[in-house]
Amino acid sequence: MKNLKFLLVFAFVLFFGFGSTIVLAEESALYTPEEYAEAQEQGIWESDITYEDYLDLYNENEKALQEMLEESESEDFVSINSSFVPKKGDILTTSSTIASGLTGHNGIVIDNNGTVLHIRGAGYTTEKISWSTWKSRYPKTRADRPSTSNLRNRAANYANDIIHPARPTYRITTTLNSINPTYCSKLVWLSYYKVDSASSLNWPREKGTVLPYSLRSEFKSITNVYNNM
């Protein structure tokens, strides 16, 4: 049975191509203790984050996903999605990917042409892609928009002008106020933290972990403007 499952996954990869970020629905992101230890040895997770801490973060992230999906089911986004135009500072969340033992991924729109800045995972640095490329890679996506346009513009500029040129490495740590290393949700969170943490964030802090699906709850005033999850 194990060999059959491996063959099915291998066939899936061959069919859809290497580098695809869409995962099988039944695939689990949860690390075993051995896998987590290996991820720490590879520098993907900070050594101070224990396996028990990781399990708490994993469960918190999955709970936030369920709340997000329930919200998606409660509203009709068909007409909203058809007229959606990304705006500078929009926060993107997708459930179409698994990386580093967690599901979910985030990006920030950095201009009014829909360019998205994100960091894909271990072995990558920050990358700019178009909105159409983001949707192709991550079809199950929602966009949330902080309420103040000036704040959104400043955060997007910080991400584009300060974080991206620093070419940060990918690593999940408990340090939130530094540019390097970073991870997907921290990149977005830090962009707002650095320009006006008091106005934008519910819990400004220097230590902790920001999870992909609970990122939106970090913001004081935010509106769901696109939802295909």
Separation CA 129–CA 120 (nearest Å): 11
Tell whether 203 is covered by a domain: yes
What are the tens digits of pLDDT across the range 177-227? 999 999 999 999 999 999 999 999 999 999 999 999 999 999 999 999 999
Residue 28 lies in a domain: no
Whether the predicted pLDDT of 4 surpasses 70: no
> Would you say residue 85 lies in a domain?
yes
- Residues spanned by the domain of 162: 70-227
What mean pLDDT is reported for the chain? Answer: 89
On whether residue 40 sits in a domain, the answer given is no
Which CATH number characterizes residue 191's domain? Answer: 3.90.1720.10
- φ, ψ for residue 181 (rounded to 5)? -80, 175
Distance (Å, rounded) from C-alpha 42 to C-alpha 39? 5
- Does 10 reside within a domain? no
Per-residue confidence band for 27, with pLDDT thresholds at 50, 70 and 90 = low
Strand-pairing partners, residue 109, are 116
Phi, psi of 55 (to 5 degrees): -60, -40
Residues 90 and 87: their CA atoms lie apart, in Å, by: 6
* pTM of the predicted protein model: 0.86
Q: Which is more confidently placed, 121 or 1?
A: 121
The pLDDT value recorded for residue 216 is 96
Q: What's the structural domain count of the chain?
A: 1
Instruction: Tell me the pLDDT band of 81, cut-offs 50, 70 and 90.
Output: confident
**16 found inside a domain:** no
pLDDT digits (tens, 9 = 90+) for 42-78: 999 999 999 999 999 999 999 999 999 988 877 778 7
Query: Quick check: is 6 in a domain?
Result: no
**Does residue 23 belong to any structural domain of this protein?**
no
* Per-residue b or e along 186-196, where b marks 16 or more CB atoms closer than 10 Å to that residue's CB: bbbbbbbbbbe
Across the range 26-45, mean pLDDT stands at 91
For residue range 112-154, list pLDDT tens digits in order: 999 999 999 999 999 999 999 999 999 999 999 999 999 999 9
Amino acid at 75: E
